[in-house]
Every structure is written in structure tokens, then in C-alpha cells.
């Protein structure tokens, strides 16, 4: 995971200000905690969870802050 993130950074698609080791552990943590809360009988489909994880990891969970108007 770490080398994939580093490759994305080297290709200019990944954010270079991220530590690839920390980012890799973040992905692993998101993925490894899923079995503790996800239920196939619950309202979310596993594909929805995966899509949300990808969105959060690739784009973040917050909107961009408004630009300062100086």
C-alpha cells in the first residue's frame, strides 16, 4: 500500500505533502475495522461502503474551505 501511494505521488497524482507510510496505515485501518461494524443484513451494501472509503481516502470528507477574500 505504501509503495502504491508513493508511486501515485511520483506520478503527480498523489498529494506530495502526505507521508506514504501514514497514508497506508490509514487505508489499512479503514479496511480492517469494517468487519467489526458492517452487516450484510444492514442498510448499506458493501459496494457503497467501498465507494465511500475510496471517496474519503482520495478526496477527503470535507468540502474545500472558501477562498479568502483579501
Answer yes or no: is 16 within a domain: yes
Indicate yes or no: pTM above 0.75. no
Answer yes or no: is 69 within a domain: no
Answer yes or no: is 68 within a domain: no
Query: How many helices and strands, by DSSP H and E, does the chain display?
Result: 3, 0
Answer yes or no: is 47 within a domain: yes
Say how many domains are in the chain: 1
Answer yes or no: is 37 within a domain: yes
What is the per-residue pLDDT across 10-37, written as a single tens digit (0 to 9) for each?
999 888 888 999 999 998 998 899 999 9
Answer yes or no: is 45 within a domain: yes
Q: Which three three-digit cell numbers place residue 56?
A: 474519503
Residue 33 domain boundaries? 2-59
> Is residue 26 a contact partner of residue 57, using CB atoms and an 8 Å limit?
yes
Answer yes or no: is 6 within a domain: yes
How far apart are the C-alpha atoms of 70 and 67, rounded to whole Å?
Answer: 9
Answer yes or no: is 43 within a domain: yes
Q: Which three three-digit cell numbers place residue 44?
A: 448499506
Residue 15 DSSP label: -
Query: What is the mean predicted confidence (pLDDT) over 44-65?
Result: 86
Amino acid at each position: 500500500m505504501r509503495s502504491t501511494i508513493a508511486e501515485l505521488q511520483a506520478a503527480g497524482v498523489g498529494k506530495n505533502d502526505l507521508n506514504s507510510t501514514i497514508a497506508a496505515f490509514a487505508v489499512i485501518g479503514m479496511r480492517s475495522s469494517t468487519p467489526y461494524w458492517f452487516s450484510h443484513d444492514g442498510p448499506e451494501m458493501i459496494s457503497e461502503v467501498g465507494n465511500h472509503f475510496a471517496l474519503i481516502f482520495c478526496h477527503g470528507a470535507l468540502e474545500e474551505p472558501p477562498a479568502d477574500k483579501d
